[in-house]
Amino acid sequence: MSEETTERLPHPLETSQTTAEGEGSRLWVIGAGLLVLLLITGVVFAVISMVNNPNKTETIRDIVIIFMAIESLLIGLVLIVLITQLARLTTMLQNEVKPILDSTNETINTLRGTTTFLSDNLVEPVVKVNSYIAALRRAIELLRFGTSNRR
């Protein structure tokens, strides 16, 4: 046989899935490229506008500085709230969850002891009695079967 006949032909569904995945990733690359190109164009126009109008540039700079200061204050407040919540969570884990886990472990140990006690003192004797009764029934059946053959 030649190499051409032994080559595996792709399944029709496999080729359509591969084509669809390739087109989807190609669209993402084209979209990202257009976005980068748009950003570069916007920056170039902004720089040209700022060079031509220095008074407006100073005003925009001052406004951006004010917004950055407000943003820094908000981030600081959010960090303080986050640290406070983290401290409360740690306290809750130590004071509430740990005792619950200890109590659960104690309950499990008690339950383990109870099941061992019941197994030793209740289940094993019942099983032994049932096995003796079953042996006695079987012996009686064998004796009856032996007597019916003699008749």
Tens digit of each residue's pLDDT (9 = 90 or more) over 32-80: 999 999 999 999 998 898 889 889 889 989 999 999 999 999 999 999 9
User: How far is it, in rounded angstroms, from Cα 71 to Cα 63?
Assistant: 12
Query: What tens digit of pLDDT does each residue of 102-111 get?
Result: 899 999 999 9
Report the chain's mean pLDDT, rounded to a whole number: 85
Mean pLDDT of the region 12-19: 56
Question: How many domains, in total, are found in the chain?
Answer: 1
pLDDT at 119 over 90: no
**Full domain range(s) for residue 24:** 13-52
Asked if residue 45 belongs to a domain, the reply is: yes
Q: Would residue 40 count as lying in a domain?
A: yes
Which pLDDT value is given to residue 118? Answer: 87
Nearest-angstrom CA–CA distance, 50 and 59: 11
CA dist 108 and 114 (Å) reads 10
pLDDT of residue 83: 97
- The pLDDT score that the predictor gives to residue 73 is 97
Going by pLDDT thresholds of 50, 70 and 90, the confidence category of residue 137 is very high
| Residue bearing tokens 């490229």 | 33
Please indicate, yes or no, if residue 39 is contained in any of the structural domains.
yes
Residue 73 lies in a domain: no
Can you tell me the mean pLDDT for 3-22?
58
Residues 95-113 as b or e (16 or more Cβ within 10 Å = b):
eeeeeeeeeeeeeeeeeee
Percent of the chain with pLDDT over 70: 83
